[in-house]
Amino acid sequence: MAIKAVISISFALALIFASPGEAKDITDTSAPNTSITCASKPEQAHLKRGETGSDVSVLQNALNDHGAHLTVDGIFGRHTEKAVKDFQAQSGLATTGEVDSRTWSVLAGDPERELGTAKQVAEKANAQAVNPTEQVASLNSALDEANAQRAELQTKLDEATSELDSAKQAAEKANAERAELQIKLDEAMGELDSAKQAAEKWKAQRAELQTKLDEATSQLDSAKRAAEKANAQRAELQTELDKTKSEVKVAQAQLTLEQRSAQRAQLQTSAELQTELGKAKSELKAAQAELAVEKANAQCHMFSPGLAAATIKAGDLRMAQGHAVAALKWYRDGLAGADCVAKAWQQNLSLSYGKVGDVLKTQGKFAEALKSYRDGLAIAEHLAKSDPANLVWQRDVSISYNKIGDVLKQEGNLAEALNAYEESLAISDRLAKADSGNIDRQRDLAIGQGRVARVLAETGDASRAIDMLQQGRAIIVRLKEQSPNNDQLSEDLVEFDDGIEKLEHANISKIGPAKPTQTEP
């Protein structure tokens, strides 16, 4: 740029300080021969794109003389306009593309105008070349600023590159975690499918068990109806049988009394006579009480819902006839019969609850079994309280408590199981004392003591457990002496001995007779 400025300055100075003749020579040397002269130059025609004519042809020739390659056709078109702009740019004129008087002057080579143009160029070059040092300093400053901007941009580029690398690493890590999560999701979906299959299988098994339970319930209902029908059919036979049993027991009691009276004569002291006489009276009293119960049961068996209704109708008939006393008797008989029928039905209902509980327990449905046992217990206790002399109903209550205790023990609820077993044991103790000659009632007491002993051992009370087992064993030994050929008692004795030995030597929790069970009526 400095060289161009020097050249321009030199050219301008040459124009300024040369004589007119020298100036003409210089001009002639630097410019090509032109076809435009002062005589031939158009009258300062202002030409622009779109015009035509001879003035345009003159313009095209002049532009060709200055290096353009136009076809001289007298038409001011796109190419002519471009040639005009190029010439104006080269000559330092405004690039309007239109030919005005100044453009014509430069094309024609007007010395004065060229000199003025040269002066302007020289002044501009001189202004640019006044102080190269300042330009260099300015360029250096601009270069430093550019370098600083470049360094700043490079820093930002490095930061962006680092962030890009971090983003790539994070993306790779996220992709890895996503793949891992996808694997876990696939595993979870597989487990879910397996769980669904297991659930479907369980539903099928449950439906099958429910079907079996429904069938069993239906069979139970059929059995109940058949039993009711059979009970109705055997009522008369049972009445006769009970009557015969009662007569036999009375005869046996009288025979025993007579035998004791005969033996009394053989006794040596009055004390022995009194003891035997008291024992005989006690046995006679027990036989009479049992006979009264059996007579009452026999009367109940004679009654049916139809007979009770007929009795009430007979009372209505007597009342209509004005016989109030006779009607009252019939009503009371009907009430007694209906009460017997209701109690018999309630006993069968209680036993049915127990049977249903047994089935549920074998299926592992302990909560449902426990509820069924307790429903049966409530009915049994109501019957027992209504007739405390009925030993059969009292024993039903004892059996219900034992079944409840068995379920609670299986559930691990030892405290409540122990309470249930002790309730049953208290009833068995009362029944055994009320009928000391009945082997079954005595054995019930011993087996109940064994049940309580097993729970005591599991709760850690070994001392009480051993004491309870020894009491039960003493009862079994006494019964064995009365019935030496009873195999069941022999098995019971082995179980009690084994339980006592384990507690005394090994301190094992599970003890007592496991096999012997209380026989239901």
pLDDT per residue as tens, the chain (521 positions) = 443 443 344 444 443 333 333 333 333 333 344 445 443 455 568 999 999 999 999 999 999 999 999 999 999 999 999 999 999 999 999 999 999 999 999 988 755 555 555 566 556 656 655 566 776 787 888 888 888 888 888 988 888 888 888 888 988 998 899 898 899 989 989 898 888 998 888 788 778 757 765 764 576 476 567 657 756 766 676 766 677 666 756 666 666 666 656 655 554 455 455 555 555 555 555 555 555 555 555 555 555 556 666 777 777 888 888 888 787 777 677 666 656 666 677 778 888 888 898 999 899 999 999 999 999 999 989 988 988 888 888 899 999 999 999 999 999 999 999 999 999 999 999 999 988 889 999 999 999 999 999 999 888 888 899 999 999 999 999 999 988 999 999 999 999 999 898 888 756 444 444 444 555 54
Q: Under 8 Å CB-to-CB from 314, ≥6 apart: which residues?
A: 330, 334
Taking the C-alpha atoms of residue 284 and residue 498, their distance in angstroms, rounded to an integer, is 39
Which CATH number applies to 2-133? 1.10.101.10
Find, among 302, 9, 308, the residue nearest to 129 by Cα: 9
Residues of each domain in the chain carrying CATH 1.10.101.10: 2-133
Element (H, E) at 341: helix 324-362
Q: What are phi and psi of 391, to 5 degrees?
A: -70, -30
Third-level CATH fold of 388-521 = 1.25.40
Burial 35-68 (b: 16+ CB within 10 A, else e): ebeeeebbeebebeeebeeebbebbbbbbbbbeb
Residues of each domain in the chain carrying CATH 1.25.40.10: 388-521
Element (H, E) at 519: none
Taking the C-alpha atoms of residue 360 and residue 234, their distance in angstroms, rounded to an integer, is 31
- SS3 string of 230-250? HHHHHHHHHHHHHHHHHHHHH
pLDDT at 183: 92
Find, among 511, 427, 515, the residue nearest to 465 by Cα: 511
Find, among 25, 26, 109, the residue nearest to 66 by Cα: 109
Taking the C-alpha atoms of residue 165 and residue 288, their distance in angstroms, rounded to an integer, is 108
> Is 499 in contact with 467 (CB distance < 8 Å)?
no
> Is 84 in contact with 103 (CB distance < 8 Å)?
yes
pLDDT at 75: 96
Residue type at 501?
A: E
